[in-house]
Amino acid sequence: MFRFFSSYGFPRVVASLRLCVKKLMPPPSVDIIVPVWNNTFETRACLASILQHSPEARLIVVDNGSSRETELMLEEFSEPLGNEGLFIKSERNLGLVPAINIGLARSDGDCAVILRPHVRVTGGWLGGLLAACQAPHAGIVSPLFCGSGAPDFIPITSGCSLMETFDVSFSALALMGEMHRLLGGFDEGMDNGEWCLKDYVRRAWSKGYHTCITSRSLVVCGEETVFGSDERRRQQSTFSRDSFMERWGIGRHYAIYFGRDSAAAALSDSIETIVESARQGYRFTLLLHRRQAADFQRLGWNARHTGIELVRLSPLMPQRDLLRRLAALQAAVPEVIAVRGPDGSPFPGAETAIPFEELAAAIGQNTISNLN
C-alpha cells in the first residue's frame, strides 16, 4: 500500500530522511598536523589543547630537528595515542614548509588541519572547521583568530558564519583531503607565509576549490617566535613575491563606481565577475549610494568575499564624499585603478577610469592563461 503525504507533511518527511542519512554517515576522518621545532612549553600547551578539544582526530607530530628535551616531551605525548597518533622525527631542521609537507604526505584523512605550536584551540573549534569544509567547492578553510599573535586579516563581516577569502595563515588551516592529494604539497621554494600560501590558494582555485574563513571556529594565537635575520627574511619574501607574480600575475586593487542610477538587480553578473576575480587575489572597493548599499546588503553581496569592501557614500553630499573617499584610497593604495560601472556612468574625479568591460576582459584573459 502506498501512503501519500500532503504538501505540508512531505517537507517534514524529507527533512527526517535527511537527518537519518546524516546520522548513518560516519564522521569525516581528520588528521591534525603539528610541525614542531623546540619551544617545549608552548608546544606542550598546544598539544594538550588539541587532546582536550579534538580527541576524535589523529595527531601527526613532525619533529623538525628539535632538542632532546623537546623530543622527549613529544614522545611522552605520542606514546599513549597508539593508532591515533603518528610521530615523525627529522634529524635536522628542514624548515616549516618542508615539515608541513612531510605531515601532509602521511595524511590520508578526509581533512588535514595544520596547526602551529603557538596556537591553542578552543571548544567546538574542529566541528566548526569541518562544518565549513562541507560548503560547496570549499577546499581551504581558516578559523577566526584571537590573541596577541593573531594574523592581521580583513575581518569577516559581522553576523556572517562563512565568507570566501584570499588571506590565510599557516598558524591554523584546514585542507580537504581530496584537494591536497590532488595539488601536492606547498611550494618549498617560497617563503614560510604570505606568498607560499597565496600560491597554494591560486593553485586550489585553478582546480575549482574555494578558500573560506568561518566564524564558527575560534583559535587563540600567541606570539610566534621568529628566527633568522630581518635581511634574510626580506630577501626570501622578495624572491617569493617575484616568483608568485611570474606564475600568476599582479593582483591589482580596483575602485568601482556604478553611478547613482544603477540598480542592484541589474548588477548580478557584474558582482559574479568581481567575486571570481577576488578568488584570484584581486581586491575591490565598491563605492555605493545609499540605496545601492542597502540592496547589496539585502542580497548578501556584502558577505561574499573579504577581498570586496563596500563603501556607502554620504546621502547628503554624495559626490563630495565620493571625491574624498577616492583621494583617501589613492593615498593608501597609489596603484589603485578606477573603474566605471557596466552602464558607463562617469566616475567623478577619475578621468582615467577604465570601463568595466575592460576590467572583465583583462581578468578573464589572465584567468585563461593561468588555467592553461
Residue at grid coordinates 593615498: 331
Collapsing DSSP to helix, strand or coil, 361 comes out as helix
| Runs of H (alpha helix) within 62-193 | 68-78, 96-105, 125-133, 177-183
The confidence score (pLDDT) of residue 153 equals 76
3-state secondary structure 11-24: HHHHHHHHHHHHHH
* 322: amino acid identity, one letter: L
Cell numbers standing for residue 214: 568561518
| Residue 66 near residue 72, CB atoms below 8 Å | no
Q: For residue 100, give the H/E element and its range.
A: helix 96-105
| Residue 112 near residue 41, CB atoms below 8 Å | no
- The pLDDT tens digits of the residues spanning 8-22 come to 343 343 344 444 434
The confidence score (pLDDT) of residue 134 equals 95
Residues of the chain with pLDDT under 70: 1-26, 228, 365-372
The confidence score (pLDDT) of residue 152 equals 81
Q: Which domains does the chain have, with CATH numbers?
A: 26-245 (3.90.550.10), 253-371 (3.40.50)
The confidence score (pLDDT) of residue 371 equals 52
The confidence score (pLDDT) of residue 81 equals 81
